A and B are shown apart, each in its own frame.
Chain A
Amino acid sequence: MARSELLHLYGETDGSSTSGTFSLSSPDFSGSVSYIRIPKGMKLKIWCKRISGEVATLIKIGFTRDVTVSSPTWVTIGTEYLASPGEIILEKRRPIVVEGITGKEAIAVTWSQGTAGKAYVELEVEVSE
């Protein structure tokens, strides 16, 4: 029986660095993580992105095939640009889909800014068979 799970992920910049990796939290897990590892044989679908901030912010979604190595190779698979203070909400009928083939795949979300400031990201993610 194929089943799936929706996760609401959220994170924020530290307000003092012009670049970094979001620490992602969720009501569905305790603590926060810098990446989401995809279970073997399952898919991760990014259905929705909400970005808001006080300054212009470039958001990138990175994907790696092996997060267990000491320096994973991250490939950018999605980019969004918040051009000025405010928010953008991107709900897609066609999600970004990445697959857990070995169980070592993962995604991470990074930011970069010209001037450091607070910015926030929310992702609606589905993990399904």
Chain B
Amino acid sequence: MAELVRENSFLTVYFPANNKALVFRVKSVYNKDYPVIDYGPLPISANTELPTFDGGSTTVPEDGVMPAMAYMDHGISFPLTGAFDETDMWYLPPEYRDRLFHIHMFIKPAWMRIEVDIPKDVMQYRFQRDKVVLGINKLWGYSRGYLEVVQLPGIHYGYRFGNDTNLNVYTKVKFVYGEYVVEIPHDPSLIFEILTRKIPSYWVTMPVTSLDPTIRVSLINTYGIDGFPVMPIDKRSEAIQVYENLLQSTKL
């Protein structure tokens, strides 16, 4: 159910906003024998004020309890003592460019709405280009109970949750994750074959429909490029030329 990438396999991280993708070879899986984190309750504190779906507001009755009919209008992170950024356990600085987190998040109760903002507080779900902004408090634009994402270095993600029942629910978060040691393959033909899906690669489409400048700057800071353009199969020689040029700028 929570698939992770195996050693010496490829991982493609695709950005719909600019039709570009990053291609990685997973050299090793750092946490192979311990991929599960029973994180515990959502990190929300008692008395925090939250908006409600009916336009009002409510307060969190106990630590970790998501109030009835409430949602988060700002994304939260998951704190961890001792992590590089103790307020956001998944954050990695650009210098950790050889590391990637592949995260499967499970939230209990399973009806909880989840949305991820990349970067934090930039809502990414849209309809008809940018005509309608979707999200956790809208008709759609969220998933329930589960989310898959790849955490890229240099960017803080924000996770927003909603509970559209009349119950003040006790929450529980479980992560199944891979800490991958990665490299970008340096053969432009190989990248072309992967991006045209002739060579198998685990493909994660990032929920990035609006390319906030922070993302581009972070990608260039981290990898030297903001991705390889995904080109049609009949543009092989043109694509390989583009990839060859980009590969000269990569930092990984």
The proximity string for A residues 42-61 relative to B, scoring 1 for CB distances below 8 Å and 0 otherwise, is 10000000000000000000
A29 to B61, CA, bound (A): 11
Q: How many residues of A contact B (CB 8 A)?
A: 26
Q: How many residues of B contact A (CB 8 A)?
A: 20
Nearest CB in chain A to that of B167: its residue: A29
Chain B contact residues, majority secondary structure: loop
Q: Does A1 reach chain B (CB closer than 8 Å)?
A: yes
Cβ A5 vs Cβ B166 within 8 A: no
A33 to B167, CA, bound (A): 7
Q: Does A65 reach chain B (CB closer than 8 Å)?
A: no
Nearest CB in chain B to that of A1: its residue: B146
Cβ B61 vs Cβ A30 within 8 A: yes
Cβ A36 vs Cβ B167 within 8 A: yes
Q: Does B18 reach chain A (CB closer than 8 Å)?
A: no
A46 to chain B, nearest CB (A): 16
Nearest CB in chain A to that of B69: its residue: A37
From B6-14, B107-115, B216-224, give the one contacting chain A: B107-115
A3-B168 contact, Cβ under 8 Å, with A30-B61, A30-B65, A129-B144: no
Q: Does B132 reach chain A (CB closer than 8 Å)?
A: no
A30-B111 contact, Cβ under 8 Å, with A1-B146, A3-B144, A3-B146: no
A129 to B61, CA, bound (A): 27
The proximity string for B residues 107-132 relative to A, scoring 1 for CB distances below 8 Å and 0 otherwise, is 01111000000000000000000000
Cβ A3 vs Cβ B110 within 8 A: yes
Of listed B109, B111, B166, B169, residue having the most chain A CB within 10 A: B111
Number of A-B contacts (CB under 8 A): 60
Which single member of A5, A33, A106 contacts B110 (CB below 8 Å)? A5
User: Using a CB-CB cutoff of 8 Å, which residues 18-47 of chain A contact chain B?
Assistant: 26-31, 33, 35-40, 42
B62 to chain A, nearest CB (A): 6
Which single member of B65, B111, B143, B169 contacts A42 (CB below 8 Å)? B111
State the B residues within 8 Å of A (CB): 1, 54, 61-62, 65, 108-111, 143-146, 164-170
State the A residues within 8 Å of B (CB): 1, 3-5, 7, 26-31, 33, 35-40, 42, 67-68, 103, 106, 127-129
Subset of 14 A-B contacts with CB under 8 Å: A1-B143, A1-B146, A3-B144, A5-B110, A7-B109, A28-B109, A30-B168, A37-B165, A42-B144, A67-B166, A68-B54, A127-B111, A127-B165, A128-B110
Q: Identify the 3 closest CB pairs spanning chains A and B, nearest first.
A: A3-B110, A3-B145, A29-B167
